Amino acid sequence: MVTNRSKSSGRQVFSMSLTRCRILTKRKKQHPSENLILFCDIRHKAAPSAYRTFAKDLAICLSAQRIQDMKYIIIGAVAGGASTAARLRRLDEHAEIIIFEKGAYISYANCGLPYYIGDVIRDRNALFVQTAAAFHQRFNIDVRTMTEVMAIDRSAKTVTALNRVTGETYTETYDKLVLSPGAEPVRPPLPGISLPGIFTLRNVADTDLIKAFVQQKNVNRAVVIGAGFIGLEMAENLSGLGLEVSVVEMGNQVLAPLDFPVAALAQRHIRAHGVHLMLESAVEAFEKAETGLNVLLKNGENLPADLVILSIGVRPDTRLAVEAGLETGPARGIRVNEYLQTSDPDIYAVGDVIEFENPITGISMNTYLAGPANKQGRICANNIVLGNVQPYAGAINTAIVKVFDMTVATAGMASKHLRNAGIPHLVSTTHSGAHAGYYPGSRQMSIQLAFSPEDGRLFGAQVAGYEGVDKRIDILSSVIQRKGTIYELAEFEHAYAPPYSSAKDPVNMAGFVAENMLLGKTNVFYWNETEDLPANAVLLDVRTQEEAGHGIIPGAVHIPVDNLRAQMNALNPASDIYIYCQSGLRAYLAQRMLLQNGFGKVYNLSGGYQLWEACTKEKAETGKQKKEAVEFA
C-alpha cells in the first residue's frame, strides 16, 4: 500500500490513497481488502503519527462502507447503552440503530438521584443528560422508551419487544445486538417488604416516588438498610431534610470495598452528624405500626420508621441473556471476552450486567460504576464497527463518595480482598494536610496503600479527608491501572501552591513511607496488634504530654520524642520496642534514633494513635450495641 515515510510527501500520499479508497468502496459492495483493516490496526499501534492518522481514517472509511446496511439493536439506554449508541452513530452514519428502554427516560444521571431527593439538586430536569427526542434529533437513533425486550432469538437474530403503554408485542431483526440492561436492586423476601413506605432507589421513577412520599406524608424518621455508597448518600440527604436517620448494616463496617481502618474514620464522622449507625445488624421483617412502620431486627430490636430505603445491593439483570443461552460467569454476570463480546459473536454486552477479569487478581468480577460503563460503551462500538480492534483492559473499581463533610475514595483492591485472593502485600497508612499547614483551612487527609513486598507494585489505595481527596485518588488510580509502583508516588511531580498542596504532597508522603517499608528503614505494626505484643515488648508513646493527656494506649510508657535521646537509657535494647505518635511521623523519627543506637527490634504503629483510636472506638461501639440488643431481647 503506502511505503513513502518522508515528512514532505508522506501525508500527501496518504491523502491520495484514502481518496482512492473512497472511490473504490463506492464502486464495490464488498470491502476492497480485509487486510487493510489489519494494516490499520498495526499502523495505529506502532507507527509514526501520520500513519496513525491515515490508519484511523482509513479504518472508519472502509468499515462504514462495509456495514452501511447494518442494523444495530441496543437493550438499555442509560450509561453503557446510550454511550454505545452515540459512538455507533459517530462511526457509522448509515446504519439503522434502535434502542429499547423499558423505563420512561434515557441517559439520566442516576448518581445524582439521592441529591435530588435531598433538595441539593432542585431542578429535576438537570438529571437528564438527554431526552429520547433530543437523542433522536441529534443522532438519528430510534429510541423506544417504555418498551421492554422480552426475548432474544439468537438463531433468527430477532428480539421480541413489548410496548408497555399500548400492550403491543412485535419482533425486530438485528445484525449486531448490544445488551446493557444494567442491574436490579436486591429485595429479599422478608415479611412485610412490600408495605407502603418501603422503597428501593435505582431509577427516576423510584426517585419520584420517594420524593413525593417525603413531601406528602408526615415523615420524621427514616431507616436506610445497607451502608454502601448509595445508602450513605441517602442517609446524608435524608438527614439534610431534617429527618432522624438510622442506618442498618449487616457487615461490620460501612462501605464494603474499603478496609476497616479507613471505614472506621468515616463511621466516626457519620456518628458525629447524628446518624444512628447500627453495624452487624440484620433486618428480619417489616410490620405496619399505628403510625408508620416497625423495622424488626434479628437481634430483637424494633426500629420505628416513617420511611425505609432498601440499599442492600444490586445484581446483574441477566434474565434475557440466560434465557437466550448466553454464557454467564461465577459473579453471575454475562461473561464477555476482551472485546466485550458475549459467547454469541453477534451479541455484545456492557455496563453493570457484565463480568470480566479483575486486572489485579485475575478473578472474574462485576463493577457497578458509571465511569466504566460509559467507557465500555465507546469500546464496544469501536469493536462492532471496526472488527474487534480495541481490547477492554478491565476496571479497578475507582469510586468516591461524599459523606457529610468528609470524602472517602478507593481504587484497586482492599487489603482484605488481596488476602482472600492469596496475594502477598504490605499496607501503609499516612496522615497529611490536604494543603500547606500555614495556609488557612488545611485539614488532614488519610491515605492507605496496599503494595507488593517484592517490587512495590501498587495494588490498592484508599483516601479519606475533607478536600482534595478526588485529586489524590485519581493520581493513585492511574498508577494502579498501569501497574505502577510506590516508587513513582515518591517521585510524583505535582502542581504546588499553598492553597492546593504542600511541597511534599500527601501522595509523595504516602510513597515515602511505603518506600521506607520496602527498603527496611521502618518496620510497622497495626492497630489490631496492640493487645498481642510479645511478653518482653515495650509500648512507647512519643507524643507530647498534652497529647498523651487526652488519651493513651493502655500499658504505654511515655517519653516525648524530643526527650528520647536524653532518656534512651531508660529503655532496654534487648526489648522489642513498639512506638507510636499521633500520626506516625514522630514515631518514625524515634524509630530511626533507636535503631542507630543499638536497639534491634523497633516497630512503628501504622497510622498512629488517631487510627488506633478510631478503630478501637468503632469496635467498642459495635460491641456495645450488640450487648444492649441482647439485654433488650
Neighbours of 165 (CB within 10 A): 10
**Is residue 319 scored above 80 in pLDDT?**
yes
**C-beta of residue 150 within 8 angstroms of C-beta of residue 163:** no
pLDDT > 90 in the chain, percent = 85
Residue 401 Cα distances to 183, 317, 514, angstroms: 20, 24, 25
**Is residue 20 scored above 60 in pLDDT?**
no
Q: Read off the amino acid at residue 266.
A: A
Residue 435 and residue 505: Cα distance in Å, rounded? 8
Mean local confidence (pLDDT), 380-389: 96
Per-residue model confidence (pLDDT) at position 44: 45
**Is residue 365 scored above 80 in pLDDT?**
yes
Mean local confidence (pLDDT), 260-281: 98
**C-beta of residue 175 within 8 angstroms of C-beta of residue 156:** no
By DSSP bridging, strand 334-335 and strand 276-278 are unpaired
Buried b (16+ CB within 10 A) or exposed e, 542-558: bbeeebbeeebbeebeb
Lowest mean pLDDT, pick from 39-43, 120-124, 351-355: 39-43
Lowest mean pLDDT, pick from 12-21, 357-366, 527-536: 12-21
Buried b (16+ CB within 10 A) or exposed e, 205-231: ebbeebbebbeeeebebbbbbbbbbbb
Instruction: Please name the residues in contact with 41: beta carbons below 8 A apart, sequence gap of 6 or more.
Output: 55, 59, 389
Residue 525 and residue 532: Cα distance in Å, rounded? 11
Neighbours of 203 (CB within 10 A): 18
Buried b (16+ CB within 10 A) or exposed e, 406-437: bbbbbbbbbbbbbeeeebebbbbbbbbbbbbe
What is the largest distance, in Å, between two alpha-carbon atoms of the chain?
93
**Is residue 558 scored above 90 in pLDDT?**
yes
**C-beta of residue 294 within 8 angstroms of C-beta of residue 303:** yes
Q: What is the pLDDT of residues 146-182, one digit of tens each?
A: 999 999 999 999 999 999 999 999 999 999 999 999 9
Q: What length does the chain have?
A: 633
Q: Which of 40, 111, 380, 581 is catalytic?
A: 111
Mean local confidence (pLDDT), 125-154: 95
Half-sphere exposure of 106 (CA within 13 A, CB side): 30
Lowest mean pLDDT, pick from 105-109, 476-480, 501-505: 105-109
Per-residue model confidence (pLDDT) at position 60: 57
Q: Read off the amino acid at residue 27.
A: R
55: Cα separation from own chain's centroid: 35
Instruction: Please name the residues in contact with 504: beta carbons below 8 A apart, sequence gap of 6 or more.
Output: 432, 512
Handedness of CA 196, 201, 206, 207 (dihedral sign): positive
Residue 188 and residue 8: Cα distance in Å, rounded? 69
Mean local confidence (pLDDT), 364-379: 95
**Is residue 355 scored above 80 in pLDDT?**
yes
Under DSSP, the state recorded for 457 is B
Query: pTM of the full predicted structure?
Result: 0.88
Half-sphere exposure of 179 (CA within 13 A, CB side): 34
C-alpha cell at 17: 490513497
Per-residue model confidence (pLDDT) at position 3: 35
Per-residue model confidence (pLDDT) at position 56: 60
C-alpha cell at 186: 436486591
Q: Which residues pair with 199 in a beta bridge?
A: 309
By DSSP bridging, strand 524-525 and strand 602-605 are parallel
Per-residue model confidence (pLDDT) at position 320: 98
Per-residue model confidence (pLDDT) at position 57: 57
Mean local confidence (pLDDT), 593-605: 96
Q: Is 111 annotated as catalytic?
A: yes
Helix (H/G/I), strand (E/B), else coil: 591:
helix
Which region, left, alpha or beta, applies to residue 477 given φ > 0 means left and ψ of -120 to 50 means alpha?
alpha
Q: Please report which confidence band the pLDDT of residue 39 belongs to, taking 50, 70 and 90 as the band edges.
A: very low
